[in-house]
Amino acid sequence: MSNASGGAMALGMSERLKPIHDQVLRMIADEILPLDEEFLVEVEKGDRWELTGRQAEILEGLKAKAKERGLWNFWLTDSERGYGLSTVEYAYLAEEMGKSHLAAEVFNCSAPDTGNMEVLERYAIDDHKKRWLEPLLEGKIRSAYLMTEPDVASSDATNISFACARDGNEYVLSGEKWWASGAGDKRCALYIVMVHTPDETRTKHQQHSQILVPADSKGIEVLRPMEVYGRDDAPHGHMHIRFSDVRVPAENLLLGEGRGFEISQGRLGPGRIHHCMRAIGQAERALELMCRRSVRREAFGKPLAQLGANFDIIANCRMEIEMNRLLCLKAAWMMDQGDARAAAPWISKIKVSAPLMALKVIDEAIQLHGAQGISQDLSLSRSWQHVRTLRLADGPDAVHRRQVARAELKKYTQEKL
Ligand SMILES: Cc1cc2nc3c(=O)[nH]c(=O)nc-3n(C[C@H](O)[C@H](O)[C@H](O)COP(=O)(O)OP(=O)(O)OC[C@H]3O[C@@H](n4cnc5c(N)ncnc54)[C@H](O)[C@@H]3O)c2cc1C
């Protein structure tokens, strides 16, 4: 395959990745997946928002093993501190991680921390890197990204109205944020907050800033966990948070006032594609469960696979997974070329396509499992609920479709549509 300018587009698994991929795959299958369900059962015991007892033992034990084996921070592309894998290479690992509930965190590759670490790596001053980036890279603390607000349509981030006013050497923050993923976890020490810093002399996309806020700052109140189809996702959580005159040092504002959108572009690209890679892994796992079940269980004198349209269903799922994997790898390859603007519509394409595909595959897998498919006995219903949220989180489908269409139409008109 080649790109428009004729250069080679290598989407296959590189030689250096193969042994790493093999180790990750084996650790997930042999050591992480068998503990996924036990971990989730443990969450229901004691303080659901604090990792203690057996729950902590499972997660921290797996993290220690991964770290010891050097299977850690794979997402950190182009950096001396990480593996320096390309986004294409990382895609293969993230897909494997999508097959298990715990795997992404076990390898210190989970959202929203990876995106937040990228922001700190690129834009934070040394003191802040020491205070937050180092422990995040070590997997000792967690973080959250606070953009969405209850009172404004946050899919259009120019609406963000969270107040942030300069007062001497400090900024004073007031307002509400919700759906702050990871903010429920007691280990969450840092919020990166998108705030409104209006300035008439600047453009529409220079009215916002991002600021680092310690999670234990005075004036912060975690109001409630938002629920996803009745699940609060403890101990991670998607929290509704109120800030009342929260004061942070002025140096906590990243890059400078008005540069919030610039930072978002860098943060959300990788985060979005990582979700898609893991969604492909979730679809792959669902297809595997569906196939195993359909050859093992019989009805009307035949294996389920041979009944009705089940051959077609299985074939369609396989084809759709393959198509999406290729689209995801192409988007990853575009990111590796270093032109964020050119990569953006490709990220949008996979951001719409992968969750829709995964939802379809997981739903078919649920159907083939009968009632057990939607029950607590299998990971499928949890997986479906999670993927459903990806049609909203990091921008709803419609917003990404708009990006794709605008890039397409740009070929035919000079007008900004
Ligand atoms: C599980 C989960 C985790 C999340 N985690 C985080 C997080 O960690 N941090 C954070 O800040 N936010 C997070 N979010 C919030 C998420 O990013 C927002 O919900 C999303 O950006 C949409 O904003 P909104 O809810 O205000 O919807 P709105 O902006 O009100 O949009 C609602 C609907 O309007 C329609 N719409 C909007 N724009 C267009 C358009 N251009 N064309 C056509 N229709 C359109 C779409 O149907 C869209 O779904 C999370 C959400 C979920 C569900």
In a domain, 117, yes or no: no
How far, in Å, CA of 182 to CA of 144, rounded?
5
Same domain, 83 and 178: no
Contact 210 CB / ligand 1 (< 6 Å): no
Return the structure tokens found at 124: 């934070």
Q: What is the mean pLDDT of residues 389-415?
A: 96
Round the average pLDDT of the chain to a whole number and report it. Answer: 95
Same domain, 320 and 201: no
pLDDT of residue 7: 65
Contact 393 CB / ligand 1 (< 6 Å): yes
Contact 154 CB / ligand 1 (< 6 Å): yes
Residue where a domain terminates, one of 67, 95, 110: 110
Same domain, 169 and 286: no
Same domain, 220 and 236: yes
The model's confidence at residue 416, banded by pLDDT at 50, 70 and 90, is confident
Whether 375 shows a pLDDT value over 70: the answer reads yes
Query: CATH number for the domain including 231?
Result: 2.40.110.10
321 half-sphere exposure, CB direction, 13 A CA radius = 21
Query: CATH number for the domain including 93?
Result: 1.10.540.10
Same domain, 368 and 399: yes
Same domain, 312 and 384: yes
Q: Choose the residue to mutate in 114, 392, 404 for probing ligand 1, maximizing ligand atoms within 8 Å of C-beta.
A: 392
Contact 398 CB / ligand 1 (< 6 Å): yes
Same domain, 266 and 246: no
Q: How many domains does the chain have?
A: 3
Q: What is the number of other CB atoms lying within 10 angstroms of the CB of residue 329?
A: 24
Check if the beta carbon of residue 326 is closer than 8 Å to that of residue 252. no
Specify the residue with its C-alpha closest to ligand 1, atom 15: 393
Q: Choose the residue to mutate in 113, 146, 148, 406 for probing ligand 1, maximizing ligand atoms within 8 Å of C-beta.
A: 148
| Global pTM exceeds 0.85 | yes
Contact 306 CB / ligand 1 (< 6 Å): no
Residue where a domain terminates, one of 225, 253, 281: 253
* pLDDT single digits (tens) 99-125: 999 999 999 999 999 999 999 999 999
In a domain, 129, yes or no: no
In a domain, 171, yes or no: yes
Return the structure tokens found at 153: 């349509």
How far, in Å, CA of 58 to CA of 182, rounded?
19
Centre of ligand 1 to C-alpha 394, Å, is 7
Same domain, 58 and 190: no
Indicate the SS3 state at residue 3.
coil
Q: What is the mean pLDDT of residues 18-35?
A: 98
Please identify, by atom number, the ligand 1 atom nearest to the C-alpha of residue 148.
11
How far, in Å, CA of 350 to CA of 94, rounded?
15
* pLDDT single digits (tens) 122-176: 999 999 999 999 999 999 999 999 999 999 999 999 999 999 999 999 999 999 9
Query: CATH number for the domain including 330?
Result: 1.20.140.10
Tokens 């529409």 map to which residue?
A: 204
Helix (H) or strand (E) holding 178: strand 170-181
Q: Choose the residue to mutate in 110, 146, 154 for probing ligand 1, maximizing ligand atoms within 8 Å of C-beta.
A: 154
- Domain residues for the domain of 222 are 142-253
Contact 396 CB / ligand 1 (< 6 Å): yes
